[in-house]
Amino acid sequence: MSMNSSKQPVFPEAGLLANTTCQMQNRLSVFFSIIFMTVGILSNSLAIAILMKAYQRFRQKSKASFLLLASGLVITDFFGHLINGGIAVFVYASDKDWIRFDQSNILCSVFGISMVFSGLCPLLLGSAMAIERCIGVTNPIFHSTKITSKHVKMVLGGVCVLAVFVALLPILGHRDYQIQASRTWCFYNTQNIEDWEDRFYLLFFSFLGLLALGVSFLCNAITGVTLLRVKFKSQQHRQGRSYHFEMVIQLLAIMCVSCVCWSPFLVTMANIAINGSNSPVTCETTLFALRMATWNQILDPWVYILLRKAVLKNLYKLASHCCGVHIISVHIWELSSIKNSLKVAAISESPAAEKESQQASVEVGL
């Protein structure tokens, strides 16, 4: 039974088979799909395990807020790799014969819904995490008194509902998700755009994604500048060079990974929506942008969670051993990356430190 009866599923075989370049990349695409799915599932599984252990150890309000948002992000990435990767491998194993195994277009619709949700939800959650950290650094009093775990859970639920709504828009509008030119994945209609509704889906998805990236960039920039101001202007509140160094590096990594990985795909979809059939975007360009976006879901747990003190120390020792050069002292990594993230979100871990934080905020003009 089809998910909607207003339109029949589209299987543009003749036009797609003419695109010999995409067809010739079949074996390479299978390799990419298997590697992306395996690495993504393993890295996000490890991140989830670390988060669960950290949540049992740290139950302060500020830490709970960060852990809830981070957990939502890595769990979304995990299921995104599991569902999307599993369907993609099945499609390759079936020689991409959609007519044979998906005549009702149900699998394509599930694939498309999962693609939109698992793509948009992490971007929005990353934006929410950036906002939460920015508030914790620039206004620690408001953060410690007003932002509770209940509020964070509401934000987490709201982000998921918004992502689900965007993913279900074609179904609600009696449109089918379409098989894309490579015949390996499903998404909004990008090939035979008929009217404003097809353009709207693509533009809305691209707008929300680019907006999330912009908000994350702005909030992380404000957080980084604030940390530097506190470091250089408030001697009493200095936590050591490693504290600021690790936090600024993490913020830069978050911004760079998200922007580099997602911008090509979002811009490509916006370009297709604006230009329609006249769009110069090719199958190869779309596949490249899609793989770049997939890498963001692989790198998310490493940027947010796994870049810890123990990992950094081992990497430093390995680099020192291989290069034979003593660059910096090992003791510079005093705090783990996740501990820094949690500490920055709250600024302090004790009432006495909170008073010092408030004094430092006044000194730097926060």
CATH, residue 106 = 1.20.1070.10
**What's the CA angle centered on 24, arms 106 and 85, to 5 degrees?**
40
Highest average pLDDT, of 116-120, 308-312, 349-353, 357-361, comes from 116-120
- Where residue 308 falls among pLDDT bands split at 50, 70, 90? low
Domain of 309 in residue numbering reads as 25-321
Highest average pLDDT, of 4-8, 20-24, 251-255, comes from 251-255
Lowest-confidence pick of 6-15, 111-120, 302-311:
6-15
More confident residue, 21 or 55: 55
Q: What is the pLDDT of residue 26?
A: 57
More confident residue, 287 or 341: 287
More confident residue, 96 or 243: 96
Q: Which long-range contacts (CB under 8 A, 24 or more apart) does 14-23 make?
A: 15/191, 16/181, 16/182, 16/183, 19/181, 19/182, 19/283, 21/283, 21/284, 22/181, 22/182, 22/183, 22/283, 22/284, 22/287
Please state, in angstroms and rounded to a whole number, the distance separating the CA atoms of residues 189 and 324: 55
Q: What is the pLDDT of residue 160?
A: 95
Question: What is the pLDDT of the chain when averaged over all its residues?
Answer: 75
Question: Mean pLDDT, to the nearest integer, of 337-350?
Answer: 42
Please indicate, yes or no, if residue 87 is contained in any of the structural domains.
yes
- Where residue 115 falls among pLDDT bands split at 50, 70, 90? very high
Please indicate, yes or no, if residue 140 is contained in any of the structural domains.
yes
Please indicate, yes or no, if residue 343 is contained in any of the structural domains.
no
Q: What is the pLDDT of residue 112?
A: 95
Please indicate, yes or no, if residue 16 is contained in any of the structural domains.
no
On the question of pLDDT at 181 being above 70, the answer is yes
Buried (b) or exposed (e) across 193-211, using 16+ Cβ within 10 A?
beeeebbebbbebbebbbe
Q: What is the pLDDT of residue 60?
A: 57
Cβ within 8 Å of residue 170, ≥6 positions away: 112, 176, 177, 188, 201
More confident residue, 212 or 129: 212
Please indicate, yes or no, if residue 238 is contained in any of the structural domains.
yes
Lowest-confidence pick of 109-113, 114-118, 219-223, 260-264:
219-223
Please state, in angstroms and rounded to a whole number, the distance separating the CA atoms of residues 30 and 115: 18
- Where residue 166 falls among pLDDT bands split at 50, 70, 90? very high
Please indicate, yes or no, if residue 353 is contained in any of the structural domains.
no
Please indicate, yes or no, if residue 335 is contained in any of the structural domains.
no
On the question of pLDDT at 129 being above 90, the answer is no
Number of independent structural domains in the chain: 1
Please indicate, yes or no, if residue 253 is contained in any of the structural domains.
yes
